Amino acid sequence: MVNLFSWRNIPGAKTLFAMIFMAGIGLIVSIVALLYLSLHLISTKSNDIDRHRTALSVEGAVQTSVNRVWSLVIDNAVWDDAVRKVYAPQPDTGWLYNTWGAGFKINNLYDGTFILDEQFDVLWGSFRSEPFSERDITFFGEGLRAIINANREALQSGEHIYAGLTRTRAGIAFIGIGLVRPMIGRLQVYDGTRRYLVITRHLNAQILTNLGNTFQINGLNFTDGTPSEFSVPLRSAADEVLGYLNWTPRLPGVEAAKAASGDITRIVLLASGLITLFILLSSVGLYKLARGERLARETALTDWLSHLPNRRALIERLDEISARGETDIKSVVFIDLDGFKDVNDVYGHDVGDELIVSIAGVLKVKVPNGGMLARMGGDEFAMTIGGLHAAAKAAAFAGSVLEFFNAPIRLGERTLHMGASIGIASGSLVECTSSELFRRADIAMYHSKITGKGRVTHYDAELNSAREYQLMVERDIRYGLENDEFDVWYQPIVDAVSLKMIGVEALVRWPRRGFGELKPDEFIAIAESSGLIYALGQFVLRRACHDLQPMSDLKLSVNISPAQFRDPEFEDKVAGVLALTRFPARRLQLEVTETYVLENPERARTAIVNLKALGTSVALDDFGTGYSSIGYLRRFNFDNIKIDKSLAGLVDSDGQAAALVSGTIRIASALGMTVTAEGVENEKQLRQLQLAGCDQLQGYYFSEPVPLEALLKSYRQPEAFMDAPVLPVYRGNP
């Protein structure tokens, strides 16, 4: 069998799962990326900040060194003693050396002191405690020259003291210059004589180390080559770049990142864990949802009783095939159980359910490969199959189903005789929709049902028009019942010896004014299959009882169709009509056909017992058309047997038929049943049947069925009735 239900059938679930999974992975990746990116950003930012700050510190350190030289110049140039010594016609070199020249060795605050004259030429100098003998100032480089050129006036007046950076021949130096002058008051010279004090301090490793310590700069050093990311330029007072001060960066960002990385890893792990948990939980939820959906679908597509796929599942399957545009032939086999309703009525619904389950189990095994069996509801099953030889496989399946129903079905202690009416329709789903295919199989099945059941019918177009005709007749019957279109006619039944009318058989008539009469044989079956027979049968019974009520010496015989007889409330309905029309039960006889009795022996027996209890008699109609022997039928206790006209009408021409009739009559009388012969059309038949011992006779030879008025007339004035040409014998004794 085909598995209808699987994950495949829930298309959304898989995609949704993949989406959640991808989203989760994406989330984890982005969180990791975000964390590391921000860490990186913060680290470079704080490195930048640190670099900037260190650069400021280095610049501050340089400025501080310049300021220190400037202070030294103030301290030494603005000094009364110095004025006396350096402005003397012969400067006191001894004093100069002791005061300034030797200072290098003592305090290391400077490394050179010089006195310049008004021409800014060197008058006296001491560099690193050695006498300086050069006359011009080229030794001091562009820095000093620039200071002098820019501030000549201010220098001459002693107004300001200047300091800056320069490159001397001995290296990079902080340099300061100022006029030597008294602390208080003006300089006491009246010519252009000027004496300037110049102090130098050359940059060296020691100074840099001290500066680095003071300003907390790591690895402070000087290079005159290319600068790095961590360096600031040193500019002379002449604005030339003298070189660069470099330092070793501390990279606090990197350190912080290193310190934080442990925490970040933990955060990443935690977030990943949470997201994985989320994916897991939602996957579980999704799975449950999908399973719930699948279960709901399963339930919606499965028959609760037989657990077979149901009608919807089957139609969905066929629609699927037709959606694929497959052009090969599909077949639908429609199976309707015969006699199921009786099982339900007689044994109850539990047994009915059990029977359905048991039959479903058997049918399932017979389904050919690739076929699908479904319960369509009630006692209907359908099987569809496609592919190569679909029609042949369908026919074989139908045949094996019929064969199965040939044998009685054992259900616990019960043995049930069941049958099946089967219809088959085949076609490609491109030219004929799946529901049309079902409709056709249904029509074919219906044809099997009304043409004797227990058979297989293949659909063809004629069946279709037959079905359409039936639907039309059904509609008309319904309309006819509502509009009182039906009549009841009566055919006399005479005593075989006296030939006196002792009863009548009620026969329904439908003139269908405006359309033309339909014979009972043409519409009774349709009324039966559509359920309209209940209303029609009730109508005939009521009308006949009502009509015959006043003719107190006539018995009334009414035909009952199998469907009516099957109705568990039938006996009550009969009693109701009797009460309503005040018709004596003993005057009523109900005629039942053999087929029904054979199909539903249990129900037939109970019904007969119940009806007899009411006082009503029961006749077996149409005897001789079926197969059963009179011996079999005695179990049912019929009061009367009606030999069908197809058999009774042969007694004058067919010796075998005559022997069969007389044999039947003998056995029936022995069993206490009376016998009525139908279809008596001539005198020869009359004589033969009389000789055979028939009790009652009925046929055109005595009278055709007539309307109530005609019956009443002959009943009141037998003479006038006897004059009728079709009633030659009725008038007198044989």
Q: Tell me which residues touch ligand C2E (CB under 6 A).
A: 491, 507-508, 519-521, 524, 537, 540, 559-561, 621-622, 645, 679-681, 699-700, 705
Q: Nearest Cα to 417, choosing from 406, 425, 429, 408?
A: 408
547 contributes a contact to Ca ion by CB under 5 A = no
Cα atoms in the 13 Å half-sphere on the side-chain side of 86: 32
Q: In terms of CB distance, is 420 or 680 closer to ligand C2E?
A: 680
Tell me how far, at minimum, the Cβ of 578 lies from ligand C2E, in Å.
Answer: 17
3-class SS at 575?
A: helix
3-class SS at 309?
A: strand
Distance CA 40, CA 46 (A): 10
Tell me how far, at minimum, the Cβ of 455 lies from ligand C2E, in Å.
Answer: 21
Q: In terms of CB distance, is 599 or 622 closer to Ca ion?
A: 622
342 contributes a contact to Ca ion by CB under 5 A = no
Q: 74: alpha, beta or left, given left = phi > 0 and alpha = psi -120 to 50?
A: alpha
Q: In terms of CB distance, is 116 or 633 closer to Ca ion?
A: 633
3-class SS at 446?
A: helix
- Of 5-13, 387-395, 440-448, 587-595: span binding Ca ion (CB under 5 A): 587-595
Distance CA 207, CA 203 (A): 6
Tell me how far, at minimum, the Cβ of 683 lies from ligand C2E, in Å.
Answer: 13
Structure tokens at 139: 């030794």
621 contributes a contact to Ca ion by CB under 5 A = yes
Tell me how far, at minimum, the Cβ of 722 lies from ligand C2E, in Å.
Answer: 18
Q: Which of Ca ion, ligand C2E, none sits in contact with 232, Cβ below 5 to 8 A by type?
A: none
Q: In terms of CB distance, is 17 or 700 closer to ligand C2E?
A: 700
Q: Nearest Cα to 240, choosing from 145, 142, 138?
A: 142
Tell me how far, at minimum, the Cβ of 591 lies from Ca ion, in Å.
Answer: 4
Q: In terms of CB distance, is 321 or 554 closer to ligand C2E?
A: 554
Q: In terms of CB distance, is 622 or 695 closer to Ca ion?
A: 622
Tell me how far, at minimum, the Cβ of 609 lies from Ca ion, in Å.
Answer: 22
Cβ–Cβ under 8 Å, residues 714 and 478:
no
Residue of 303, 345, 591, 599 interacting with Ca ion (CB under 5 A): 591
594 contributes a contact to Ca ion by CB under 5 A = no
Residue of 559, 564, 696, 714 interacting with Ca ion (CB under 5 A): 559
CB contact set of 567 (below 8 Å; sequence gap of 6+): 534, 573
Q: Which of Ca ion, ligand C2E, none sits in contact with 173, Cβ below 5 to 8 A by type?
A: none
Name the DSSP class of 496. T
622 contributes a contact to Ca ion by CB under 5 A = yes
- Strands 329-338 and 380-385 turn out to be antiparallel
**DSSP states along 619-648:** EEEEETSSS--HHHHGGG--SEEEE-HHHH
Query: 520-530 and 434-450 helices cross at what angle (nearest 10)?
Result: 120
Query: Any idea which residue has 């008038």 for tokens?
Result: 731
Tell me how far, at minimum, the Cβ of 535 lies from ligand C2E, in Å.
Answer: 12
Q: In terms of CB distance, is 567 or 621 closer to Ca ion?
A: 621
Q: In terms of CB distance, is 442 or 594 closer to ligand C2E?
A: 594
Q: Which of ligand C2E, Ca ion, none sits in contact with 504, Cβ below 5 to 8 A by type?
A: none
Q: Which of ligand C2E, Ca ion, none sits in contact with 382, Cβ below 5 to 8 A by type?
A: none
* Whole-Å CA distances, 397 to 369, 416, 423, 572, 665: 11, 22, 11, 42, 44
Tell me how far, at minimum, the Cβ of 672 lies from ligand C2E, in Å.
Answer: 23
Q: Nearest Cα to 236, choosing from 180, 165, 133, 182?
A: 165
- Of 116-124, 348-356, 508-516, 556-564: span binding Ca ion (CB under 5 A): 556-564
Q: In terms of CB distance, is 442 or 621 closer to Ca ion?
A: 621
Cβ–Cβ under 8 Å, residues 423 and 416:
no
Q: Which of Ca ion, ligand C2E, none sits in contact with 521, Cβ below 5 to 8 A by type?
A: ligand C2E
Structure tokens at 500: 């006196």
Structure tokens at 482: 């509502």
Distance CA 348, CA 405 (A): 21
Tell me how far, at minimum, the Cβ of 449 lies from ligand C2E, in Å.
Answer: 17
Tell me how far, at minimum, the Cβ of 426 lies from Ca ion, in Å.
Answer: 39
Query: Any idea which residue has 């206790």 for tokens?
Result: 637
Q: Which of Ca ion, ligand C2E, none sits in contact with 164, Cβ below 5 to 8 A by type?
A: none
Cα atoms in the 13 Å half-sphere on the side-chain side of 30: 7
Q: In terms of CB distance, is 591 or 594 closer to Ca ion?
A: 591
Instruction: Give the residues lining the site for Ca ion (CB under 5 A).
Output: 559, 591, 621-622
